[in-house]
Amino acid sequence: MRLLRRIRSASAAAAVGVVLLAPAASAAGATLSYTGSIQMAQGTYYFDQTVRGLFFVNGFYLNTGAFNLSASVPVVYQNSPYVSYSGIGVLPTGGSQSPVVGSLPGRRPGSNPIVLPEPETVDYNRFGLADPFFRMGFRLWKESRFAPSVEISAHAKVPVATFESGFGTGQWDYGAGVSLSKRLGGVFLLADIGYWVLGDLPELELNDPWSYIASLGIPLSGGKAALTFSYSGFTKIISGVEPPSSLGLGISFRVGRRSSLLVNGSLGLSESSADFSASLGWSIGL
């Protein structure tokens, strides 16, 4: 029942955003979509225990062509208190045991796992609302025959969940980035680079990282579907720990004129990434 209440709360928050924006979107000739996803992730990270998480996200996406705005609210299930949810995703900070992680700055990345106390993870299964996330994008240059499309963006995670709840850091995270995209022949290329300012945990300082993404999209079935390969990563976030990086594979399908489905899987390449994750996402035009 608690999970259903959390999901209803997140869905209601997304619905309120859609209702408030729909008149403005219609007047401006923009498109408005309800977006969501269900994701499962599992990994040992650099701990001696397996961490599992399930994420149900509700949100909206507004696009005018030159400007876009999105917001999302996640409901999270976790079986361990040793990860934190930030603006850049799940971080293996140690959570309530972050002082243990923070006391090992001389640890060699990729070396032996950190042993954390066992009692807290016995029968630890929690659901809760995590921090909402907002993104704005502005197109500076429209794609032409010889030049890529250029977009700048700003991102923010609002600290609604407390650190003690296990579903947030209790701090603001914010950042900015630039994306380049271009169609070349029968493929679509995208490159994105960004910089993040991450709020510190009470006893663990987080470095402010650069993020980077490179992806290749291949249209299928005359543009009704697409296959996407991606690589993403960050510079160092936690001292003595390899930064997150992963490979992704996804396939998307158009459903009608303004809706789509996306099935995606990723494989972690470093000790601070989930070993694997799988997700189902959707965008429903309104």
Q: What is the pLDDT of residue 114?
A: 65
Work out the pLDDT band at 283, boundaries 50, 70, 90. very high
Q: Look at residue 247 and tell me whether its pLDDT is greater than 70.
A: yes
Q: Report CA torsion sign: 201, 243, 275, 107.
A: negative
Mean pLDDT of 210-236: 95
Work out the pLDDT band at 29, boundaries 50, 70, 90. low
* Tokens, residue 171: 């701090």
Q: Look at residue 228 and tell me whether its pLDDT is greater than 70.
A: yes
Q: How far is CA 255 from CA 33, 64, 200, in A?
A: 13, 21, 42
Mean pLDDT of 91-106: 67
Q: Are 159 and 172 in contact (CB under 8 A)?
A: yes
Q: Look at residue 2 and tell me whether its pLDDT is greater than 50.
A: no
Question: Which 3 state secondary structure label does DSSP give 46?
Answer: coil
Work out the pLDDT band at 105, boundaries 50, 70, 90. low
Query: Which of the pair, 4 or 130, is modelled with greater confidence?
Result: 130
Range of the domain at 118: 2-285
Q: What is the pLDDT of residue 63?
A: 95
- pTM beyond cutoff 0.85: no
Q: What angle do CA 85, 89, 93 make, to 5 degrees?
A: 50
Indicate the average pLDDT of the chain: 84
Total domains in the fold of the chain? 1
Query: Which of the pair, 96 or 86, is modelled with greater confidence?
Result: 86
**Tell me, what DSSP letter sits at residue 99?**
H
Q: What is the pLDDT of residue 122?
A: 54
Other C-beta atoms lying within 10 Å of the C-beta of residue 27: 8
Q: Look at residue 54 and tell me whether its pLDDT is greater than 90.
A: yes
One-letter amino acid of 229: F
pLDDT tens digits, 252-268: 999 988 899 999 999 99
The count of C-alpha atoms lying within 13 angstroms of the C-alpha of 139, restricted to the half-sphere facing its C-beta, is 12
Work out the pLDDT band at 103, boundaries 50, 70, 90. low
Query: Which of the pair, 117 or 140, is modelled with greater confidence?
Result: 140
Q: Look at residue 27 and tell me whether its pLDDT is greater than 50.
A: no
* CATH number of the domain enclosing 163: 2.40.160.40
Query: Which of the pair, 20 or 84, is modelled with greater confidence?
Result: 84
Work out the pLDDT band at 202, boundaries 50, 70, 90. confident
Q: Look at residue 6 and tell me whether its pLDDT is greater than 60.
A: no
CB-based contacts of 114: which residues, under 8 Å, 6+ apart? Answer: 46, 47, 48, 94, 100, 101, 104, 107
Q: What is the pLDDT of residue 258?
A: 87
Q: Are 132 and 73 in contact (CB under 8 A)?
A: yes
